[in-house]
């Protein structure tokens, strides 16, 4: 490895690991006579993995719309007395990780606004917009957002524009039909005026959004697992480019854009819960299949055990063990109270590193040749520390298998990755995947390393390649790049050096 690469890897060591972080989970329920606040609570609890910074619920009963939200986990924000005080027939809820806008309380969702005609609206959003600056400028020109406001999220911009469009002559539904075609990027929305439940999904269908049926109502949610937990049965996905409204008259649906599927492949790999289905394909089955494909293409002859990095590495490790015939074992214990969002230790505690989350079972791994299966590698710090920890616990060999290709590009559609220069897959600029893999293997200290290919990963989803977004792996951004974003500009320059087609900025 040359001096420049060694220096770059040294710089990576100076940062805490930044795992892929989802932006949000959304939920909505219309069910007169039911405890919609509690249904929303349990729905958000099922979606907690999609964001752990903040959560909120808005409940409406025709006469008024009440929003309760705060920073923290769903279980920390709501208790029995709070939920009992939220009465109504319709509710929307949100659990959040911030990517656009800051971590201030003002950006916690649902967003609340009042139209010029006095209609209250609460809105929840999952995704990221690529024409955020254009919409923000529009909102400022309309006078609904002050130019002096320092932290304005894309959700706040959408919420204010939606509310501002509602008048005595223009309904919430019609205001949404006017606004949604102008929104570019990835978005799944649930919103309510206290009487009707609305939901919408961007024309590319980047993030999942599903519709479910209750005995006395309807539910929309980011994932099917949330339908299961509230006792709703799956009806269908909200179609890309579709706006729906649900009230006592039933379901109304309108198209605001043509469907061009570009679902996020990383939902299958990491983001979604394994007990969810996306486009008719089980997330768990996809991950198990990826593990099988890894075993076929990257065998580990002579290995004693296959162990997952819990929890997201579990299904792929099961698939690897089944295909290879190597014994599956739980060699790492996860602290369930840390969660998927990494809590950065202070500098004094930095040496604890990954032990905040994982601890090896020495009696299981001592003296064994291990195949360690994980979902992805971003900066590499977690894997480097994990391998060191396993060797200290007595592992004879550590062979790493990754259930996704090398992450080389940032996501601008709702996942918070590191910048291009901080991704370990970019340390060696070679176009040869074997050279890149060997560079990463040496950096993390594994005895061998294998990544599933983009082709094998896509095949495991059982979706057409053309209908999936794989931008974080191959740099092809189907929705374009956002203007005014430093990471987007860095990605654009990198695309130029590699002679790849440049997406048009929004």
Residue 146, annotated as binding a ligand = no
**Separation of alpha carbons 97 and 102, rounded Å:** 10
Which of 24, 124, 188, 225 is catalytic? The answer is 24
Residue 411, annotated as binding a ligand = yes
**Separation of alpha carbons 465 and 262, rounded Å:** 9
How many Å is the Cα radius of gyration of the chain? Answer: 23
Phi, psi torsion values for 404, nearest 5 degrees: -155, 160
Closest by CA to 68, choosing from 51, 80, 48, 82, is: 82
**185 neighbors 130 (Cβ within 8 angstroms):** yes
Reply yes or no: is the peptide bond before residue 112 cis, omega within 30 of 0: no
* 71 beta partners: 54
* 74 beta partners: none
Distant-in-sequence, close-in-space partners of 430: CB < 8 Å, separation ≥ 6: 436, 439
**Separation of alpha carbons 211 and 503, rounded Å:** 32
Distant-in-sequence, close-in-space partners of 305: CB < 8 Å, separation ≥ 6: 326, 327, 328, 329, 331, 364, 365, 368, 369, 370, 371
Residue 472, annotated as binding a ligand = yes
**273 neighbors 283 (Cβ within 8 angstroms):** yes
Closest by CA to 287, choosing from 256, 266, 260, 261, is: 266
**Separation of alpha carbons 388 and 294, rounded Å:** 23
Residue 124, annotated as binding a ligand = no
**121 neighbors 166 (Cβ within 8 angstroms):** yes
Catalytic-residue membership of 124: no
Which helix (H) or strand (E) segment is 25 a member of?
A: strand 24-30
Residue 188, annotated as binding a ligand = no
Q: In what order do the strands lie in the sheet with 210-214?
A: 65-71, 54-60, 90-96, 24-30, 217-221, 210-214, 233-237
User: In b/e form, how buried is each residue of 157-169, taking b as 16+ CB within 10 angstroms?
Assistant: bbbbbbbbbbeee
**425 neighbors 407 (Cβ within 8 angstroms):** yes
**Separation of alpha carbons 223 and 328, rounded Å:** 29
Crossing angle of helices 433-444/381-392, nearest 10°? 50
**Separation of alpha carbons 42 and 34, rounded Å:** 13
Binding residues: 264, 312, 374-375, 411, 469, 472
Q: Which residues are catalytic?
A: 24
Binding residues for [4Fe-4S] cluster: 264, 411, 469, 472
Binding residues for Mg(2+): 312, 374-375
């Amino acid at each position: 490895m040359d001096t420049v690469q060694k220096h770059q890897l040294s710089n990576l060591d100076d940062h805490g690991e930044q795992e892929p972080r989802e932006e949000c989970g959304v939920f909505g329920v219309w069910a007169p006579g039911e405890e919609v606040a509690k249904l929303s609570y349990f729905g958000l609890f099922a979606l907690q993995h999609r964001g752990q910074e903040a959560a909120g619920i808005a409940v409406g009963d025709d006469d008024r719309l009440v929003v309760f939200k705060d920073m923290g986990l769903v279980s920390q924000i709501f208790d029995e007395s709070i939920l009992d005080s939220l009465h109504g027939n319709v509710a929307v809820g949100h659990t959040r990780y911030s990517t656009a806008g800051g971590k201030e309380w003002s950006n916690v969702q649902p967003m609340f606004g009042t139209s010029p005609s006095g209609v209250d609206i609460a809105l929840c959003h999952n995704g990221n917009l690529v024409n955020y600056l254009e919409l923000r400028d529009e909102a400022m020109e309309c006078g609904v957002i002050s130019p002096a406001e320092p932290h304005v999220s894309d959700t706040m911009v959408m919420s204010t524009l939606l509310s501002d469009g509602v008048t005595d002559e223009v309904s919430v539904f019609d205001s949404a039909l006017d606004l949604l075609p102008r929104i570019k990027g990835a978005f799944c929305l649930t919103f309510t005026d206290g009487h009707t439940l609305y939901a919408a999904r961007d024309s590319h269908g980047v993030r999942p959004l599903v519709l479910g049926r209750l005995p006395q109502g309807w539910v929309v949610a980011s994932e099917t697992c949330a339908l299961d937990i509230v006792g709703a049965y799956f009806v269908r996905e909200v179609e890309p480019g579709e706006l729906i409204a649900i009230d006592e008259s039933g379901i109304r649906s309108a198209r605001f854009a043509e469907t061009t599927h570009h679902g996020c492949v990383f939902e299958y790999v990491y983001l979604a819960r394994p007990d969810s289905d996306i486009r008719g394909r089980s997330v768990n089955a996809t991950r198990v299949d990826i593990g099988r494909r890894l075993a076929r293409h990257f065998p580990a002859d002579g290995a004693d055990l296959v162990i997952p990095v819990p929890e997201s590495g579990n299904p792929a490790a099961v698939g690897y063990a089944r295909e290879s015939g190597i014994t599956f074992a739980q060699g790492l214990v996860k602290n369930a109270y840390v969660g998927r969002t990494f809590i950065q230790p202070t500098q004094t505690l930095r040496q604890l590193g990954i032990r905040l989350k994982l601890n090896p079972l020495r009696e299981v791994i001592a003296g064994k040749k291990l195949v360690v299966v994980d979902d992805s590698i971003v900066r590499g710090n977690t894997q480097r520390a994990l391998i060191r920890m396993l060797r200290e616990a007595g592992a004879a060999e550590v062979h790493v298998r990754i259930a996704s290709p090398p992450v080389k590009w940032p996501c601008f559609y709702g996942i918070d990755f590191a910048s291009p220069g901080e991704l370990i897959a970019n340390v060696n600029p070679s176009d040869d995947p074997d050279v890149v893999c060997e560079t990463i293997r040496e950096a993390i200290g594994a005895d061998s390393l294998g990544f599933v290919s983009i082709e094998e990963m896509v095949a495991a989803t059982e979706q057409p390649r053309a209908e999936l977004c794989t931008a974080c792996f191959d740099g092809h951004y189907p929705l374009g790049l956002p203007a005014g974003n430093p990471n987007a500009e860095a990605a654009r320059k990198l695309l130029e050096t590699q002679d790849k087609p440049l997406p048009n900025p929004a």
